[in-house]
Homo-oligomer: A and B are copies of this chain.
Amino acid sequence: MSIDPNRFLADLHKLREFGASGIGKGVVRPAYSPADIAARKWLAGRMGEAGLEPHFDPVGNLFGLAPGTSLLMGSHSDSQPEGGWLDGALGVIAALEIARSSDQPISVVSFQDEEGRFGVTTGSAVWSGGLPLEQADQLTDGSGITFGAARSAMAELSKGFVEPSRFRGFIEMHIEQGPALDAAGQQIGVVSDIVGIRDMSITFEGQQNHAGTTPMHLRRDAFQALSLFNARLNDRFRNVVTPQTVWTIGRVDLHPNASSIVPGRVRFSMQWRDGDGDRLIRMEEIIRATAQQVADELSMTLSYGPMLGLEPVAMDPILRAALELGAEQVSPENWRGMPSGALHDATNVARLMPVAMLFVPSIDGISHDFAEDTTEDDLIAGLCVLEHAVRALAGRSE
């Protein structure tokens, strides 16, 4: 038996009906919403029809278990508050199609709350041991609901946590969520590593003052400190970064944030990502030195929030080689090896077993948006690569 692209696409479109936004193909299916739970129950049914044993764990991760030792495939079926129809759903339905068409033991997973209604890749973080359940239960969403309260909506479905040792590896297919493949006209990306992330808040505190009566030379304006810091940092990073390195000031909270008051305080987010752990450290040194220099020059008090850090994760060489082999068979010379700039459940699962990832193009690089999409040709190409990779791995294990 081999893969059935029409069945695969039909299931993808069926899943899209759960939480359909009515705007384009977009979906509204945040973790533990009625649409998310209904989608997971439907998925459990499809898993059963495929001969897998549906298994919800205590946080709502849904596994479709093959007997004995198996290769785990999948991703997540929850969405952003305004999400695309593919995102992680693609990886779940592709895994289902592989599982039901392959003669190899393939298990399927849809992790819960990958999109971070509560934490960051919460479901796989708990399962992998990266985030203690008691700690996860304290996390709150934007409206103050706790993870503990939210997951209780699925409590009657739970059969306990799945033992990770029953899986010999994990392959996650996902949309790229960036513009690289689409811009290059390439069909497949085989992930080399998932970049590491550092994220912290920085605060400059100067002196709040009247915007009419305080001469420029006597001001200690926190916004001016932020602007100078940003300009200097961009300058200094030039000699350190690669074209894959990214850094972002995405959040700015100015105080008191009024047009007639010289701002006395700014707290802002500083996030940077790279596949090289040493470069992440070097960038941190530059950030801290630049912030200190600006604080000294402009008479600011400087302070830092706690730094969140995730180390880069290299993909398993064997699983990755199998995906590369499949990519070359399905799209000869029309694929690339590439880092993943986004976090994925595979980052967490890598604590437990070998992992690898496959990307298909995002049209115009759009994701986390109702407008997110990928051509059917590319979706099917991705599915075929998975099929070839599983065959190649089976040949190896025999």
Contacts and interface: CB of A to CB of B under 8 A. Distances in A.
> Could you say how many copies of this chain the assembly holds?
2
Contacts of A248: 211, 221, 259-262
Contact of A258 (B176, B214, B251): B251
Name, among A177, A215, A234, A258, the residue most crowded by chain B CB atoms within 10 Å (CB to CB).
A215
B215 A368 contact: no
B213 A224 contact: no
B252 A254 contact: yes
A9 to B, nearest CB: 25
A341 interface: yes
Interface string A167-181: 000000000111110
Contacts of A180: 215
Interface in A297-321: none
Contacts of A177: 210, 212-213
Contacts of A212: 177-178, 195, 197, 246, 273, 340-343
Contacts of A249: 223, 263
A22 interface: no
A23 interface: no
A342 B258 contact: no
A334 interface: no
Contacts of A277: none
A329 interface: no
Interface string A246-287: 111111111001111111000001010100000000000000
A248 B177 CA distance: 38
A215 B260 contact: no
A311 B337 CA distance: 62
A259 B254 contact: no
- Report which residue of A246, A260, A367 has the largest number of chain B beta carbons within 10 angstroms of its beta carbon: A260
A290 interface: no
A217 interface: yes
By size class, the interface of chain A is: 35 or more
Nearest to A176: B213
A244 interface: yes
A257 B246 contact: no
B211 A223 contact: no
A5 interface: no
Contacts of A146: none
Given A252-B254, A365-B218, A259 B231 contact: no
A259 B179 CA distance: 20
A279 to B, nearest CB: 14
A216 interface: yes
7 contacts: A199-B259, A211-B271, A213-B342, A223-B230, A227-B230, A250-B257, A250-B261
Given A211-B246, A212-B273, A248-B260, 16 more contacts: A183-B218, A197-B212, A209-B365, A211-B248, A214-B365, A216-B241, A216-B245, A217-B243, A223-B250, A224-B230, A227-B227, A228-B231, A249-B263, A251-B254, A251-B259, A258-B269
Nearest 9 CB-CB pairings of A with B: A178-B213, A259-B269, A212-B341, A211-B248, A213-B341, A212-B342, A227-B230, A177-B213, A227-B227
